[in-house]
Amino acid sequence: GVTQSPTHLIKTRGQQVTLRCSSQSGHNTVSWYQQALGQGPQFIFQYYREEENGRGNFPPRFSGLQFPNDSSELNVNALELDDSALYLCASSLLLAGAMITQYFGPGTRLTVL
């Protein structure tokens, strides 16, 4: 399955944070989402075969990496209070642009004080 670490995290404004995701074996795509309380997930970006190939309306201080060993990272620099949210990663198998399967992780709850 898809796992994320840590489960919860508390940071202060201006700090940097790295969130981690372990994808489903055999999947070639990982997407990251930010979900504020009471809202639907918002697409941050997507990595396909270790390269970013899609991005939502998030500033460059949100960056990511995808590694060949089914792991990936979301990095956020210069944290702001509004970055407090649940961060979800989704592992997918894309073939010819079509999503065959997709599984979400349980999320990391980030609180910025």
Partner 1 sequence: AQRVTQPEKLLSVFKGAPVELKCNYSYSGSPELFWYVQYSRQRLQLLLRHISRESIKGFTADLNKGETSFHLKKPFAQEEDSAMYYCALKVGYQKVTFGTGTKLQVIP
Comparison of 35 and 71: residue with beta carbon closer to partner 1 = 35
Position 39 contacts partner 1 (CB under 8 A): yes
Expressed in angstroms, the distance from the first to the final Cα of the chain is 31
Position 58 contacts partner 1 (CB under 8 A): no
From 18, 20, 43, 70, residue interacting with partner 1 (rule: CB under 8 A): 43
CA–CA separation, 107 vs 48, rounded Å? 20
Position 42 contacts partner 1 (CB under 8 A): yes
From 6, 54, 59, 81, residue interacting with partner 1 (rule: CB under 8 A): 54
CA–CA separation, 64 vs 56, rounded Å? 13
CA–CA separation, 97 vs 27, rounded Å? 13
User: CA angle, corner 107, sides to 101 and 109, nearest 5?
Assistant: 165
Position 102 contacts partner 1 (CB under 8 A): yes
The site for partner 1 (CB under 8 A) is made up of 31, 33, 38-43, 46, 48, 53-56, 88, 90, 94, 97-99, 102-107
